Amino acid sequence: MNIELRHLRYFIAVAEELHFGRAAERLNISQPPLSQQIQSLEANINAQLLVRNNRNVSLTSAGHMFLQEAYQVIAQVDAAATRAARMQQGELGEISIGFTSTAPFMHNVALSLRQFRERYPDVAIHMHQMNTKQQIAPLQTGRIDIGIMRNTLLPDNLTHQLLFRERFMLAVYDDHPLLRYADKGVELEMLSDYPLVFFERDVGTALYDEIIALLANAGVTPIISQEAGEAMTILGLVAAGLGISIITESFTRMKLDGVQYLPLANNPAYSEVWLVKHKSCNNSAAADRMTDLLIATFDLK
């Protein structure tokens, strides 16, 4: 059996017009080839679909049934073609994103996600919270398409683009003595005598290394009283008065009772936030659209 889509389209036109001349005109072909194609179709399926005479064309019982089936086949093919085109354009499909715990508190990251959802509602977004170093392996294997992470040493098969830089800040609990420096900022050297709530080193948080280097450059050996792996846990421990913490500016969007944020004085250091992808893996068009939107939102050149 050798039935082509054009056979179905020709038959539908004749069945709807019940006239070979009008059907041929509608299909923009001449009448003899149209008649030949219908005859070929009937021969292929071994059934008479149309009754013809010099004046009239009508459908047989088999023709009525075949017409309904032909409608469904054409509709399915058209729908499949539409879905394929939309997937090619990044309007359909799915995307997996790795992100650090503070990424949702970064204004432009949250804005990009919201805009993407509004523009492409049929793309499923799968968000995976991981610290920076935990994102490396899933990016290499393709489990996640893109990663939003802190600056870190990357393997050769991953590439990054800088999204933005953010300043370091100080989180303190209410009534802390350092609050008197809120206007002019706190010098790093002042932290020598205060216990710190710190990131856990073994979870691989990139901020750990950055903050240790920041304190070392200021000649400060930190007194670490508590360690935690999540941003909200760290701030909760600060609110409980168990210490103070050096954090980045995006943390300050977390409003927590009992925690206040102070600037650091004379501190040119910053933390970088990267968009990371695999160099050679062909990401989906949806992932490419998300990448483009993030870059545009951060106004990167």
Tell me the per-residue pLDDT of 48-80, one tens digit each, with 9 for 90 and over. 999 988 778 999 999 999 999 999 999 999 999
Task: Give 3-state DSSP helix, strand, coil % of the chain, rounded to 5.
Answer: 45, 25, 30
For position 88, what pLDDT does the model report?
Answer: 83
Please give the Cα distance from 9 to 11 (Å, whole number): 5
For position 205, what pLDDT does the model report?
Answer: 67
Q: How confident is the model at residue 204 (pLDDT cuts 50, 70, 90)?
A: low
Q: Give the Å distances, CA to CA, from 156 to 17, 34, 138, 140, 159.
A: 64, 60, 15, 10, 8
Pairing of strands 195-199, 223-228: parallel
Structure tokens belonging to residue 118: 């509004």
pLDDT tens digits for 136-191?
A: 999 999 999 999 998 888 999 999 999 989 999 999 999 999 999 999 999 999 99
For position 199, what pLDDT does the model report?
Answer: 83
Sequence-distant (6+) residues with CB within 8 A of 290 are 95, 97, 112, 116, 145, 146
Sequence-distant (6+) residues with CB within 8 A of 194 are 178, 223, 243, 244
Please give the Cα distance from 111 to 113 (Å, whole number): 6
177 phi and psi angles, rounded to 5 deg: -60, -30
Q: Which residues pair with 94 in a beta bridge?
A: 124
Please give the Cα distance from 62 to 50 (Å, whole number): 9
Query: Is the separation of the CB atoms in 283 and 145 below 8 Å?
Result: yes
For position 203, what pLDDT does the model report?
Answer: 62
Q: What is the DSSP letter of 181?
A: G
